[in-house]
């Protein structure tokens, strides 16, 4: 069975990362979210994937190319104008054959185990189009789903008036018939109307997903997703090329090839260190930290519950906590990301002209790709640093830095 993966969405509320990469190229536990979707598809027996890309789609094509390293064959379709999920699906119609069913997967959702296999099982047992559904604490943010006693979906409410309905929501994975393309065309690309028409004509079976699931909507969701994935680790995986020497490791730690770890390092798992990274003397890596490939962490730095996408340098004596850091970022020595308010109130984050309450007591910084932060800075809780931003060294004497 072929798969159609939607990866065109940039996510306006994913600032500062949406400026340079699609949401699906945010990293969780050392890998892009899209890589996890492709891995689940391969595990489920799918070998051919059509991927719809859009703004910054080159980040996807450069990383995955033909899909060889992901273990699947990938072809690409470009959505040049962001005009909805339904229209993105229609762009791929020519890649599929009448009479066949296909897997549809949104690439900005993440599950702690293989959600795709679960919905495929529901399809094969019922011989009906199927959709993965789950319960979420924020059901008002999604289309609510209603079921009959036989687990058939009877109704979908796109924008419920009440925000506390606590009902099932669509979880971003479907098995659909080729005829769905025609239904979408008939309804002008409106996904909700097309699904309602499918329910009336062929039916839509609900496949309940009861394990961890998260829709990536905001930059702090990356931290939650990272914690969800790492929280399932129960053993360490350390490449044979790595000499941990005088380092102290506790809990499940995943370390890829060609990582250099200097004496005095302490790593508290679950933690991840990507290939080719350097961890300097006396560095402390605390739980739920993901250090991407090619990173350099300087002497006595401390990293806690943070995600580094890769190719980033952290200066000595710095603290990076509860933060998400893009690729090719430079953080100078002695830089601190403050991750809490003195009154212990929730951290609020400004994204564009909007301010969001994260609902979290501990949130550090969100630092975009290619940013450069000089030495000696304190970054406020929940602060966003845009891609490519350059912040000069905090020089106090002489005052003008000369």
pLDDT digits 0-9 by tens, 255-294: 999 999 999 999 999 999 999 999 999 999 999 999 999 9
* Mean pLDDT calculated for residue range 111-125: 93
Q: Is 349 a residue whose pLDDT tops 70?
A: yes
Specify the DSSP class assigned to residue 93: G
Q: Is 219 a residue whose pLDDT tops 90?
A: yes
Cis before 16 (ω within 30): yes
Residue 200 binned pLDDT confidence (cut-offs 50, 70, 90): very high
Q: Give the three-class secondary structure for 365.
A: coil
Structure tokens at 89: 């699906």
| Helix 115-126 with 33-43: angle, nearest 10 deg | 40
* Mean pLDDT calculated for residue range 299-326: 98
Q: What is the rounded distance in angstroms from the CA atom of residue 221 to the CA atom of residue 244?
A: 31
Whether 136 contacts 172, CB under 8 Å: no
pLDDT at 84 (0 to 100): 86
Tokens 């799918």 appear where? 46
In percent, the amount of the chain with pLDDT more than 70 equals 95
Nearest 10 degrees: CA dihedral of 78, 84, 87, 88? Answer: 30
Structure tokens at 270: 């679950």
Whether 4 contacts 104, CB under 8 Å: yes
Burial (CB count <10 Å: 0-12, 13-18, 19+), residue 342: exposed
Tokens 């630092």 appear where? 367
Q: State the pTM of this model.
A: 0.93
Residue 138 binned pLDDT confidence (cut-offs 50, 70, 90): low
Q: Is 107 a residue whose pLDDT tops 60?
A: yes
Q: Measured between alpha carbons, how far apart are the two ends of the chain, in Å?
A: 66
* Mean pLDDT calculated for residue range 205-221: 93
Structure tokens at 82: 């962001």
- Which domains occur in the chain, in start order? 3-217 (3.90.550.10), 237-391 (2.160.10.10)
């Amino acid at each position: 069975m072929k798969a159609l993966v939607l990866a065109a969405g940039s996510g306006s509320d994913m600032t500062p990362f949406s400026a340079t990469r699609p949401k699906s190229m945010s990293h969780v536990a050392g890998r892009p979210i899209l890589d996890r979707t492709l891995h689940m598809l391969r595990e489920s027996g799918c070998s051919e994937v059509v991927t719809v890309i859009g703004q910054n789609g080159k980040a996807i094509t450069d990383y995955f190319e033909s899909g060889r390293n992901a273990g699947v064959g990938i072809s690409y379709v470009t959505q040049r104008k962001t005009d909805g999920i339904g229209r993105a699906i229609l762009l791929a119609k020519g890649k599929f054959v009448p009479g066949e069913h296909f897997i549809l997967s949104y690439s900005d959702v993440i599950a702690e185990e293989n959600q795709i296999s679960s919905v495929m099982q529901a399809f094969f047992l019922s011989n009906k189009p199927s959709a993965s559904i789950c319960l979420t604490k924020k059901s008002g943010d999604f289309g609510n789903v209603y079921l009959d006693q036989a687990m058939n979906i009877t109704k979908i409410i796109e924008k419920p008036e009440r925000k506390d309905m606590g009902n099932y929501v669509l979880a971003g994975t479907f098995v659909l018939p080729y005829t769905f393309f025609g239904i979408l065309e008939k309804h002008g690309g409106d996904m909700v109307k097309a699904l309602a028409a499918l329910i009336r004509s062929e039916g839509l079976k609900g496949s309940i997903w009861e394990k961890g699931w998260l829709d990536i909507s905001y930059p702090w969701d990356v931290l939650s997703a990272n914690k969800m994935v790492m929280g399932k680790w129960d053993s360490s995986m350390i490449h044979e090329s790595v000499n941990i020497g005088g380092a102290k490791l506790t809990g499940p730690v995943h370390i890829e090839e060609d990582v250099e770890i200097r004496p005095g390092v302490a790593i508290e798992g679950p933690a991840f260190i990507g290939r080719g990274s350097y961890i300097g003397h006396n560095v402390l890596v605390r739980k739920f930290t993901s250090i991407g490939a090619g990173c350099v962490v300087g002497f006595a730095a401390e990293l806690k519950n943070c995600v580094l996408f890769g190719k980033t340098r952290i200066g000595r004596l710095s603290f990076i906590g509860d933060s998400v850091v893009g690729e090719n970022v430079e953080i100078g020595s002695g830089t601190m990301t403050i991750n809490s308010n003195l009154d212990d109130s929730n951290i609020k984050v400004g994204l564009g002209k909007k301010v969001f309450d994260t609902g979290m007591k501990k949130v550090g910084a969100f630092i975009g790709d290619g940013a450069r932060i000089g030495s000696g800075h304190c970054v406020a809780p929940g602060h966003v640093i845009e891609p490519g931003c350059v912040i000069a060294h905090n020089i106090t004497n002489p005052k003008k830095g000369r």
